[in-house]
Structure 1
């Protein structure tokens, strides 16, 4: 079944058959855009992604003041007030239902890896569903334990690899083999005396 972007359209707007509607879902997570954590944010390269995915990218980036587009690799500097202040894609927003065209004010705390609803716009109608007030987007780069900036990514990769079941089995087998070899060596040395 193919996604029909017109089912989300405001029924009172006219449809121009010559203009192709924009994608109404994020190219990273494939979630439909909305007016909260999946707000469509447009980068300088004109590619659009949801705020949540951009926050997840930023929190793991070694360059917290910029976002690198996952499609074209162009860099977009972040506004002074942070990631949520990137421009909204007004074209995408115009295709959302009228109640979703009022964007919520969101804060991004990179140090804690959290997106948080700051306040509901006064012009927005009351939401039909409860809105989660915070969203965890992950740990910032280099925040594993008390690591410094250099070596943090390598250590976290090593920790991740060491936690995989196959690697654990290999390490345990290696320890068992080394124990047997060491025991045999000690027995041979003690018998020669």
Structure 2
């Protein structure tokens, strides 16, 4: 049994820090035994250039995906057992990687009204390689330059380059004024 503070951490996804549930944040266990929510794994998969595997963000081990897709990865039954009784039943979810969507496949008639608490569809992003293309729902095109400039490494590089240019210009102006 877990002490209360460890139980709280144990019931949250290590990527998004959201509490696990029985819909989009279902606790899925990878072959390396690390557990993450379905939504985070779907977001990782949709951006991956290897759609048939998931790489664990903690240990970097690869887990091949089942033939029926990401939602059919094994649920972490230990985590589910700590959830309230009403959340012990996991909803059937479908993952459409090409559209970047998780969808509730079917809701059991005995389940509380899901539509009042959770959206039936969750957008997890554009698949790898399709970020710059316009989608059917009218999404704007993003240029490669804008995408590259928004990565943290490029921002740091550009800021460093600007700082160096300012120093060089300042030294040049001082040198010219002395002549």
The aligned counterpart of 2:47 is: 60
> Secondary structure of 1:67's match?
strand
Gaps of 5+ in 2: 134-141, 163-179
Give distance in 1, aligned partners of 2:59 and 2:87: 29
Out of 85, 90, 114, the position equivalent to 1:98 is 85
SS at match of 1:76: strand
Please give the per-residue CA displacement for 1:6-59, whole angstroms capped at 9, x wherever unaligned. Answer: xxxxxxxxxxxxxx7470000000000000000000000000000000000000
For these two proteins, the number of residue pairs brought into alignment is 144
Q: State the partner residue of 1:39.
A: 26
Match of 1:137 among 107, 124, 128: 124
Q: Deviations over 1:127-157 (max 9, x none)?
A: 59432110000110000345xxxxxxxx965
SS for the counterpart of 2:117 is coil
Q: Does the CA contact (< 8 Å) of 2:107 and 2:114 recur in 1? A: no
Partner of 1:81: 68
**Which one has the largest radius of gyration?**
1
Select between 112-121 and 137-146 the one with higher mean Cα deviation.
137-146
TM-score by structure 1 length?
0.66
- Residue of structure 1 equivalent to 2:36: 49
* Corresponding residue for residue 30 of structure 1: 17
Contact 2:27/2:76, CA 8 A, preserved across alignment: yes
Residue 119 (structure 1) aligns with: 106
Secondary structure, aligned partner of 1:158: helix
- After TM superposition, give the deviation of residue 158 of structure 1 in Å: 3.2
Per the normalisation by structure 2, the TM-score is 0.71
Comparing 22-31 with 61-70, greater Cα deviation is found at: 22-31
Name the counterpart of 1:178. Answer: none
RMSD: 2.9
